[in-house]
Amino acid sequence: MKILVTGGAGFIGSAVCRHLIRDTDHSVVNLDKLTYAASLSSLAEIENDRRYRFVKGDIGDRAFVADLLAEEQVDAIMHLAAESHVDRSIDGPGDFIQTNIVGTYELLEAARAYWMQLPADRREAFRFHHVSTDEVYGDLPLDDSLFTEDTPYAPSSPYSASKAASDHLAMAWFHTYHMPVVLSNCSNNYGPYHFPEKLIPLVILNGLEGQRLPVYGRGENVRDWLYVDDHARALALVVTRGEPGRSYNIGGRNERSNLAVVETICDTLDRLSPLPNGEPRRELIDFVTDRPGHDLRYAIDASRIENELGWRAEETFETGLEKTIRWYLDHPDWWRPIRQKRYAGQRLGTAKA
């Protein structure tokens, strides 16, 4: 298959591009606008592969996308391009409405026009895979309840509301126009190449440099963490084997409170790279004023994708986190230039997204 990946220079999109080129026979066209969150250096290992092409462009530019689809004759679209940081959506929701809602609408329309003129066999095999988040479901109490694909949408933040809107648009293109749309909703991702404003890389890098480690509220909010390469494998299964009109929840069965995540990072860093003064990094933890509308708990029931598509997360939180920390220790060339730039409108990186 030839797959158009939108947002392929971002955290998850770049993991998807690397997985598709490294581990499958598919070809990839990566369409990315290169916002502040993008990093082409995350694609260095595949950039010269003849099955990979990068194109700079905006999903919201329908004519541009239409030309690209006609030129590339893709078999599927994996749509990951988005504004993705909750704190930024609180400080300035406009970009989230524009990219996540209007941009997705323009992309759906370009895809529909392209899909409609395909010959019948290719039209049936075509897939539009909309990649989304579990945050569309709102939050859960601190018990053992889980989000299933039937949980009603109840988003809390401008980010999750914009993703919820885009999920509804994508599914409407299936119900109304019968375009073969598949949807996936995933829990918090972590792993290599994660932009340093998000909780896990922020804490690793602040901890490495002996700086304060900000934690919202009392750190009680619970997230279900998934290693990004496990997500990339799940997405490749959904786009190739998922049933049109169906959604798939993806999660790692790895629930941790934010405080537990930060403490584990502190202890791992102390073991792998102790501070020169020997201070335990837990001493650096700073509890700061909670994020407005902060969801208490997210947790995913992933049994549909496990049972129907045979997917399983390979990493536990402990194995994935150790790999991630070692990756940041070994790759200052990737993160140092990003950390040195000032991120506009930064509140602080907690939760995911």
Q: Which residues are catalytic?
A: 134-135, 159
The answer to whether 352 touches 89, Cβ cutoff 8 Å, is: no
- Contact pick of 60, 138, 207, 219 for ligand NAD (by CB under 6 A): 60
- Least CB distance to ligand NAD at residue 131 (A): 5
- Contact pick of 19, 28, 58, 86 for ligand NAD (by CB under 6 A): 58
Angle subtended at Cα 146 by Cα 285 and Cα 304, rounded to the nearest 5 degrees: 125
DSSP sequence for 196-235? TTSHHHHHHHHHHTT--EEEETTS--EEEEEEHHHHHHHH
Q: Which of 343, 6, 92 is nearest to 195 (CA)?
A: 343
Cα pseudo-dihedral 169, 239, 57, 34, rounded to 10:
100
The answer to whether 303 touches 251, Cβ cutoff 8 Å, is: no
CA distance 133 to 140: 15
- Contact pick of 3, 4, 5, 10 for ligand NAD (by CB under 6 A): 10
**Residue 101 binds ligand NAD (CB under 6 A):** no
Binding mask 21-50 for ligand NAD (x = CB under 6 A): -----------xxxx-xx------------
Both tokens assigned to 186: 């995933």
Residues 145-174 within binding reach of ligand NAD (CB under 6 A): 163
**Residue 13 binds ligand NAD (CB under 6 A):** yes
CA distance 111 to 40: 25
Q: Which residues are CB-contacts of 37 (< 8 A; sequence separation ≥ 6)?
A: 10, 11, 83, 84, 85, 195
The answer to whether 300 touches 146, Cβ cutoff 8 Å, is: yes
- Contact pick of 82, 101, 208, 269 for ligand NAD (by CB under 6 A): 82
Q: Where are the alpha helices (DSSP H) in 283-330?
A: 303-309, 317-330
**Residue 77 binds ligand NAD (CB under 6 A):** no
- Contact pick of 3, 5, 6, 219 for ligand NAD (by CB under 6 A): 6
- Least CB distance to ligand NAD at residue 101 (A): 11
**Can you name the residues that pair with 189 across neighbouring β-strands?**
226
**Residue 227 binds ligand NAD (CB under 6 A):** no
**Residue 195 binds ligand NAD (CB under 6 A):** yes
**Can you name the residues that pair with 66 across neighbouring β-strands?**
none
- Least CB distance to ligand NAD at residue 164 (A): 11
Q: Which stretch binds ligand NAD (CB under 6 A): 18-26, 126-134, 203-211, 214-222?
A: 126-134
Q: Which stretch binds ligand NAD (CB under 6 A): 78-86, 121-129, 214-222, 323-331?
A: 78-86
List of residues contacting ligand NAD (CB under 6 A) = 6-7, 9-13, 32-35, 37-38, 58-60, 80-82, 84, 99, 103, 131-133, 163, 186, 188-189, 195, 352-353
